[in-house]
Chains A and B, each alone.
Chain A
Amino acid sequence: MNILVLLKMVPDVVEELEVAGDGKSLDTSFLRTIINERDDHALEQAILLKERHGGKVTVVALDAPDIDDTLFATMAKGADRAVKITDAPEGMTTQMAAKLCGQVVAGLLPADLVLTGVQALDDLDGLSAALVAQQLNFPYIGVVTAVTAGGPTATVLKEFAGGVRGEFAVTLPAVLGVQAAEKPPRYVPVAKVRAVMKTNKIETVSAPGDAGAAQIEVRQLAKPVVSSHAEMLEGSPEEAAGKLVELLAQRGLL
């Protein structure tokens, strides 16, 4: 089966995030980006499906710092093609980015499945998977944790709350918003990535047409105003533990 995977780079929250001088956007001078975690799961799910059913996996991503390393890594993991969308305007919202990506994806059809993360860390005005599904006029479901393909439909598990999952039959081709792959994303050794860098090429596509204008306005971006902060219990671990036990005892919790 043919699978398209839409990836996106997001700020790495292991690093401290700083707000730029305008108070509305991220300070990009020290920003480091990382593949959106859910997208990584979408890729893993795509490769698992390829391993089970054969076919091709094509990865599509907007240009971003470090995107080449990420795309080569996807090919080292088992993706067959990687397509990078260049010359896109800066600072696009999720809606705008999806508009461009959707057109590129449309140009790469036919495909049985389009997989992407159910959400991204920086989504503010929509979810890519739903937006792309609407453009392609494909059925869509999100929060997916397992996919079994076969025939004209795929059996898809969607995660609800409380550990309950729902099974859905989805007519193909379809767009799925992946929450988690059936297995954690695989590790790909550095040597394999280097080998792929020598043998494979990343295809580039110029951003097609107009991404439109943002339909939202970010008025302010800031660190959360903390309404409450825990009362910190100081001292050695033993002292802190002792203080906590006293407090719990006072509240009748022991």
Chain B
Amino acid sequence: MTHDPVRISLLGVPGWAVLWALSVAAFGVFGWRAWQLIGLLRQGRPENRFDQLGQRVLRFCKHVLLQPRLLNERSIGLPHLLIFWGFVVYVICFNWSLVRGLVPVLPIPYPEEVFVAALFLKAFAVLVLISLGIAVARRIFFPPPHLHLSWDANLILSLIAVLMLTTLLSAFWPRAMWWLHMVTVLFFLVYLPYSKHLHLLASPFNVFFGNLRPAGDLGIAGGSEEITAGSAKWNEFTWKQLLSGFSCAECGRCDRACPATTAGFPLQPQEIVQKLKKHTIHAGLETNGGKLIGDVITEDEIWACTTCMSCMERCAVLNEQIPIIVQLRRHLVAEGQMAKTLQDALQNFTRYGNSFGKSDRMRAKWTQPLGWKVKDARKEPVEYLWFVGDYASYDPRLEEITRQTARLFQQAGVDFGILYEGERNAGNDVRRIGEEGLFEMLRDKNKQSFEKAQFKAIVTTDPHAYNALKNEYGLSVPVLHYSELLDQLVAQGKLTFAKKNGVRATYHDPCYLGRYNDIYEPARRVLQAAGVELVEMPRSRCQSYCCGAGGGRIWMEDTPGVKERSAESRVREAAALGVDTLVVACPKDLVMFQDAVKTAGLEGKLTIKDLTELVQEALKPAAQA
């Protein structure tokens, strides 16, 4: 720059001195606020998120530098990425300018005076302005549901625009634009930690310290037993859970994906995180803010979650909403505050090991009409221990399908056995209800039965059980979902199909198989091998739409005011494809969707079938028993 902007006199004070004064003030306020917020995090409960640093760096690179989750939403994905990178370039150049301006004797040029830097600044100024235009247009003309249209956001967008314009207009009024630029950035610095754009500072850390354990993990690494007793106050959450609030950008991705929100339940995952953030700041810094449960977050919100993992799958800053909700539930369970129906289910789990309140001796009653005895894995060694699960064992609507699966395994030469009355509910949903002690009790009882049995692997027909057995039992044997086993049997030539099934069908990815465990393809491969013409629903694979039964919801009432039950929305989605069959691979899905077909008036138009049924229909006639 031909005229150094700090070597001027501003009302008789040297420019550099004014810059010093402004910088000290801005960094002072910023530092004070940052110190306050970090202080709040330090009051949270401990949690070890400092392990596997290599993995963390990789994750940081992916989700902070490349932002693949944002790119999923086309309208804003690329603009956000450009604004982000523009921000990075501008932060570097601002600091450069600031140092140079504060210490005018430094023998270095301003960034604008360096060709490459100036080129980057100008190029990004143009790209960012275009992106801002798109962002503003999106906010004004086609805002997606659940995007918070706050003045806060408008102000920030305006400030960014000012920054870009000062760069582009610097050729005309170099010194004025330089000062405007610097003052804007310093104002930004002060404003940032008080606004939703705190996410800009917090989310990179949030991503770095994200969960590296299985997606549905509810244990708290390094956490004591006290932690699993739940949280009712802000400082009973871990520092990482508190950081979630600071990282939330209020973009509404989670709400748009949430089946509870969509159905009209009083839950918005974004609000849970936001409410926790606001309450933490109020209660932690101003020592007011009422009771977290009740005044801030209602019990209905807490119980509305189906734990389907959609919010966490979608969140661009890798927030973990479900563990926060489960912490709140754990507290409610400890206080005995829950629906009577849920209480009855828990009582039944405690006493009988199943939610049906039926005797454990009746667990294998479904085998009786088979005409042959299914092996008792506790009495003779088997290759596969079949963990049947409660619904497939006790629900009269599912018994016949369970028998079909048994016949299918037998025809394919699978050496399998069951635990008879030794099996208990796996505890997956019990844990998500927040009854950690009962989960442990069920897990320990199942593990005792496993110890009595001889087997090489576990296969289960229940995705909920699958998740618990695979990720939360600490077993050393492989755990397979039956779709995986069938897929292997097809690949090994043990299941051969004589005829093409010819059915046009769509497949519903179970939450606990898909988003929780990333298993999407085996069932599809099996269906295709059986000659099923597979059509995908708009919401498929990781975007699959929950049936509404998970997380203990199956034992709870709908809240008044529910618009469209999740299961009904899902069967309508399937029916709209013009297929005649919706294929499921989860017993709970089968009962939920069968009911929904009736309530949605789709009887005769859409049939709900288990994967097993379609496989059976296409088997070689000779192989059929």
Which A residues lie at the B interface, using CB under 8 A?
Answer: 12, 14-16, 34, 184, 186-194
Contacts of B438 in A (CB 8 A): 189-190
Known: A14-B358, A14-B359, A15-B361. A187 touches B440 (CB 8 A): no
CB–CB A15/B359 < 8 A: yes
CB–CB B361/A186 < 8 A: no
Measured between C-beta atoms, what is the minimum distance from A240 to chain B in Å? 14
Measured between C-beta atoms, what is the minimum distance from A120 to chain B in Å? 18
- Cα–Cα distance between A186 and B361 once the two chains are bound (Å): 27
B120-128, B263-271, B272-280, B339-347: which lies at the A interface?
B339-347
- Cα–Cα distance between A16 and B358 once the two chains are bound (Å): 11
CB–CB A14/B357 < 8 A: yes
Contact of A187 among B338, B361, B436 (CB under 8 A): B338
CB–CB A187/B357 < 8 A: no
Contacts of A189 in B (CB 8 A): 333-334, 336, 435-438
CB–CB A191/B357 < 8 A: no
- Cα–Cα distance between A48 and B357 once the two chains are bound (Å): 26
Contact of A190 among B340, B350, B357, B358 (CB under 8 A): B350
B87 within 8 A of A: no
- Cα–Cα distance between A12 and B441 once the two chains are bound (Å): 21
CB–CB A16/B437 < 8 A: no
Contacts of B361 in A (CB 8 A): 15-16
CB–CB A16/B359 < 8 A: yes
B351 within 8 A of A: yes
Contact of A191 among B229, B346, B352, B358 (CB under 8 A): B229
Which B residues lie at the A interface, using CB under 8 A?
Answer: 225, 228-229, 333-334, 336, 338, 340, 343, 346-347, 350-352, 357-359, 361, 435-438, 440-441
- Cα–Cα distance between A15 and B358 once the two chains are bound (Å): 8
Measured between C-beta atoms, what is the minimum distance from A182 to chain B in Å? 14
Measured between C-beta atoms, what is the minimum distance from A47 to chain B in Å? 11
Q: Which residue of B lies closest to A191 (CB)?
A: B437
By DSSP majority rule, is chain A's interface helix, strand, loop, or mixed?
loop
- Cα–Cα distance between A186 and B347 once the two chains are bound (Å): 10
Measured between C-beta atoms, what is the minimum distance from A73 to chain B in Å? 9
Q: Which residue of A lies closest to B342 (CB)?
A: A187
CB–CB A34/B351 < 8 A: yes
Q: Give 7 pairs: A residue, B residue, CB < 8 Å, sorted on A.
A: A14-B358, A184-B340, A184-B343, A186-B336, A189-B438, A190-B435, A191-B228
Measured between C-beta atoms, what is the minimum distance from A77 to chain B in Å? 8
- Cα–Cα distance between A12 and B352 once the two chains are bound (Å): 11
Known: A14-B352, A15-B361. A187 touches B343 (CB 8 A): yes
Measured between C-beta atoms, what is the minimum distance from A222 to chain B in Å? 21
Closest 3 CB pairs of A and B: A190-B437, A191-B437, A187-B343
Measured between C-beta atoms, what is the minimum distance from A74 to chain B in Å? 14
Measured between C-beta atoms, what is the minimum distance from A164 to chain B in Å? 24
Q: Which residue of B lies closest to A77 (CB)?
A: B336
Contacts of A190 in B (CB 8 A): 350, 435, 437-438, 440-441
Q: Which residue of A lies closest to B228 (CB)?
A: A191
- Cα–Cα distance between A192 and B357 once the two chains are bound (Å): 22
Q: Which of A16, A188, A190, A194 has the most CB of B within 10 A?
A: A190
Q: Which residue of B lies closest to A187 (CB)?
A: B343
- Cα–Cα distance between A14 and B352 once the two chains are bound (Å): 9
Q: Which residue of A lies closest to B340 (CB)?
A: A184
Q: Which residue of B lies closest to A192 (CB)?
A: B334
CB–CB A191/B436 < 8 A: yes
Measured between C-beta atoms, what is the minimum distance from A234 to chain B in Å? 15
Known: A14-B358, A194-B437. A187 touches B346 (CB 8 A): yes
| 8 further contact pairs, Cβ within 8 A, besides A15-B361, A190-B435 | A186-B336, A187-B333, A187-B346, A187-B347, A189-B336, A189-B435, A189-B438, A192-B334
- Cα–Cα distance between A201 and B117 once the two chains are bound (Å): 76
Q: Which residue of B lies closest to A194 (CB)?
A: B437
Contacts of A188 in B (CB 8 A): 336
Measured between C-beta atoms, what is the minimum distance from B423 to chain A in Å? 17
Measured between C-beta atoms, what is the minimum distance from A241 to chain B in Å? 14
CB–CB A192/B437 < 8 A: yes
- Cα–Cα distance between A190 and B349 once the two chains are bound (Å): 11
Contacts of A184 in B (CB 8 A): 340, 343
- Cα–Cα distance between A12 and B357 once the two chains are bound (Å): 11
Contacts of B351 in A (CB 8 A): 12, 34
- Cα–Cα distance between A15 and B437 once the two chains are bound (Å): 25
Q: Which residue of A lies closest to B351 (CB)?
A: A34
Measured between C-beta atoms, what is the minimum distance from A208 to chain B in Å? 32
- Cα–Cα distance between A189 and B228 once the two chains are bound (Å): 12
Known: A15-B361, A16-B359. A191 touches B334 (CB 8 A): yes
Q: Which residue of A lies closest to B430 (CB)?
A: A190
Measured between C-beta atoms, what is the minimum distance from A223 to chain B in Å? 17
Q: Which residue of B lies closest to A32 (CB)?
A: B359
Q: Which of A12, A189, A192, A193 has the most CB of B within 10 A?
A: A189
- Cα–Cα distance between A194 and B435 once the two chains are bound (Å): 13
Contacts of A187 in B (CB 8 A): 333, 336, 338, 343, 346-347
Measured between C-beta atoms, what is the minimum distance from A134 to chain B in Å? 34
- Cα–Cα distance between A157 and B454 once the two chains are bound (Å): 58
- Cα–Cα distance between A193 and B334 once the two chains are bound (Å): 11
Contacts of B358 in A (CB 8 A): 14
Q: Which residue of B lies closest to A78 (CB)?
A: B336
- Cα–Cα distance between A187 and B334 once the two chains are bound (Å): 9
Contacts of A34 in B (CB 8 A): 351
Contacts of A192 in B (CB 8 A): 334, 437
- Cα–Cα distance between A147 and B614 once the two chains are bound (Å): 59
Measured between C-beta atoms, what is the minimum distance from A197 to chain B in Å? 11
Measured between C-beta atoms, what is the minimum distance from B487 to chain A in Å? 33
Measured between C-beta atoms, what is the minimum distance from B379 to chain A in Å? 19
Contacts of B225 in A (CB 8 A): 191
- Cα–Cα distance between A217 and B440 once the two chains are bound (Å): 46
Measured between C-beta atoms, what is the minimum distance from B322 to chain A in Å? 20
Contacts of B437 in A (CB 8 A): 189-194
- Cα–Cα distance between A34 and B437 once the two chains are bound (Å): 21
Contacts of B343 in A (CB 8 A): 184, 186-187
- Cα–Cα distance between A194 and B438 once the two chains are bound (Å): 10
Measured between C-beta atoms, what is the minimum distance from B3 to chain A in Å? 72
Q: Which of A14, A16, A34 has the most CB of B within 10 A?
A: A14
- Cα–Cα distance between A12 and B350 once the two chains are bound (Å): 14
Measured between C-beta atoms, what is the minimum distance from B504 to chain A in Å? 25
- Cα–Cα distance between A16 and B359 once the two chains are bound (Å): 9
- Cα–Cα distance between A190 and B228 once the two chains are bound (Å): 12
- Cα–Cα distance between A12 and B360 once the two chains are bound (Å): 13
Measured between C-beta atoms, what is the minimum distance from A124 to chain B in Å? 25
Measured between C-beta atoms, what is the minimum distance from B395 to chain A in Å? 15
- Cα–Cα distance between A191 and B435 once the two chains are bound (Å): 8
Measured between C-beta atoms, what is the minimum distance from B28 to chain A in Å? 47
Q: Which residue of A lies closest to B349 (CB)?
A: A190
Measured between C-beta atoms, what is the minimum distance from A14 to chain B in Å? 5
Contacts of B338 in A (CB 8 A): 187
